[in-house]
Amino acid sequence: MDKKYSVAEEIGGDRPPVNISSVERDTGLSKDALRVWERRYGFPQPYRDAHGERIYPSDQVDKLRLLKRLLDIGHRPSKIIDKSVEELTALCNDAESPAHSAEIEQLLGLIKSHGAVELRQRLTQILLRDGLRRFVIDVVAPLNRAVGIAWMRGEIAVFEEHLFTEQMQGLLRNAIASIQLRGHSPRILLTTLPSEQHGMGLLMVEALLTLEGVYCVPLGVETPAADIVAAALAHDVDIVALSFSAAFPSRLATASIRELRELLPASVALWVGGEAMLRARAPSEGVEVVRSLEQVIAALGEWRARLSE
């Protein structure tokens, strides 16, 4: 049963309670996920304010933040949600950091030391040196993973991760905008479904596809299925490409993909990729799983080969 409160001290925690929007912003967990967990697992256990709105004690927010870190590396909520904060912290600390190149370590160090200007300058230098394709595959992808693991281990703060993301997204968008299209085929719509807030993967794929002369229709993140279908028809796209991060529930991903495949015309191909797809069930017929950035180009080549047959 929901609890009521009159003063913040009655709730507990070392900081004032916050509403569901603040929890979503602070932890990266969607409001839908918070409500589903509340019903399904009995956690979190929000109180209700005088207006009947959910408010969350700070100790529950701290635990939710740990849960989100572990979700991002593939843990399932049902397996970890009943664990204590101490147990969750131990799991985070036990996560292995992958070996990085000296260059990735240098960039990660700039993020940790708040060297925003130096980070932007260094990333720009590497982009000019290596070109966009190698920059995306050899720098953006591993650095993005390294930042995610560092955040999960508590080595960087939320604001540092957000600053890195904004800088990298800005750099990639500028690079994409500078490319002169050599062709307009195929036309590919790029987006994520509701509750999927991670858009870096989309930008990396858009950069690689644009280099290959693809006409991209980027919709950003969290687009409802009905709007994806409407946009696909309005822009006469050949392919819809969706990204699913490790935090997206694999079961929900499978069901959502099946639903979207049924809504899309048979002539529109559906590509799906991202960490969640590595552990999801086999997709519906008519859905192609793209498991790496390198496979994006391979899938494009296969599509063009079939078109020319």
The CATH number assigned to the domain holding 62 equals 1.10.1660.10
Instruction: Judge whether 143 and 107 are in contact, CB under 8 Å.
Output: yes
pLDDT, one tens digit per residue, over 172-197 is 999 999 987 766 789 999 999 988 88
Q: How many structural domains is the chain composed of?
A: 3
Domain interval for residue 62 = 3-94
* Amino acid letter for position 98: P
> Would you say residue 182 lies in a domain?
no
Q: How far apart are CA 205 and CA 59, in angstroms?
A: 38
55 and 156 both lie in a single domain? no
Q: What is the CATH number of the domain that holds 146?
A: 1.10.1240.10
> Cβ distance 120 to 171 under 8 Å?
yes
Domain boundary among 110, 142, 177: 177
Q: Does residue 238 share a domain with residue 170?
A: no
Q: At what angle do helices 58-71 and 141-152 cross, to 10 degrees?
A: 140
What is the model's pLDDT at position 282? 61
Q: 199-203: list long-range contacts, CB under 8 Å, 24+ apart.
A: 199/169, 199/243, 200/140, 200/144, 200/165, 200/168, 200/169, 201/243, 201/245, 201/273, 201/274, 202/241, 202/243, 203/169, 203/172, 203/173, 203/176
Query: Does 214 share its domain with 300?
Result: yes
Domain membership flag for residue 54: yes
Amino acid at the residue 229:
V
What average pLDDT does the segment 4-25 reach?
A: 67
- The letter for the amino acid at 84 is S
Structure confidence at residue 178 (pLDDT) = 93
Residues 197 and 283 in one domain: yes
Least confident stretch, 41-45, 147-151, 181-185, 303-307: 181-185
- For residue 283, is the peptide bond before it cis, meaning its omega torsion is within 30 degrees of 0? no
Considering the chain, what percentage of its residues have pLDDT values greater than 90? 51
Residue 284 in contact with residue 267, Cβ under 8 Å?
no
- The verdict on 158 and 250 lying in the same domain is no
Lowest-confidence range among 42-46, 155-159, 265-269?
155-159
Query: How many residues are listed for the chain in this entry?
Result: 309
The reported pLDDT for the residue numbered 6 is 41
Q: Which residue among 94, 110, 145 closes a domain?
A: 94
> Are residues 260 and 289 part of one domain?
yes
State whether 225 and 172 are in the same domain: no
Q: 94, 128, 162: which is the final residue of a domain?
A: 94
- Regarding whether 124 and 231 lie in a shared domain, the answer is no
Q: What angle, 0 to 180 degrees and rounded to 10, lies between the N-to-C axes of helices 225-234 and 250-263?
A: 40
- The CATH number for 284's domain is 3.40.50.280
